[in-house]
Amino acid sequence: MKRNILMTALGAVIFAGGLGVAVASNSAQQTNGEDDLNIAQTKVTLIQAVTAAEKKLGGRAAHAELNDENGKLVYGVEVINGTQATDVKVDAMSGQILSAKADQADAEHEGQGESNDD
């Protein structure tokens, strides 16, 4: 009986920890009350945006944040699939994937690392 309770509690902690990473990433970006208002205006949650991005690319989210792009609320989700990092933009109102582009910052960083190995 104690073992079952422990296993259930451990599973809940692991699940909550995984969700907490995505939520903490968004919370860390908040610097003022304006960000709180933006979150309240969205129809799609951060977790729903992350799930949509992961499903689209078949990878795992490493970072996610809510951005205001010219008055339009958009989630930016970085998805890792193998060694490829992709920046995915998800509409915060509809949940629609707006774009998915290779993460240029990671690609440039890898290129610099390769040139230093010579």
User: What local confidence, expressed as pLDDT, does residue 104 receive?
Assistant: 78
Beta bridge mates, 81: 84
- Separation of alpha carbons 75 and 90, rounded Å: 5
Residue 41 CB-half CA count within 13 A: 15
Q: Specify the pTM.
A: 0.63
**How many structural domains compose the chain?**
1
Average the pLDDT over 42-64 and give the result.
97
* Residues 93 and 73: beta-carbon distance below 8 Å: yes
User: What local confidence, expressed as pLDDT, does residue 39 receive?
Assistant: 85
Domain, as residue range, for 95: 2-116
Residue-wise pLDDT tens digits, 8-38: 444 444 544 454 444 544 444 445 566 666 8
**How high is the mean pLDDT of the chain?**
76
CATH number of the CATH domain containing 33? 3.10.450.40
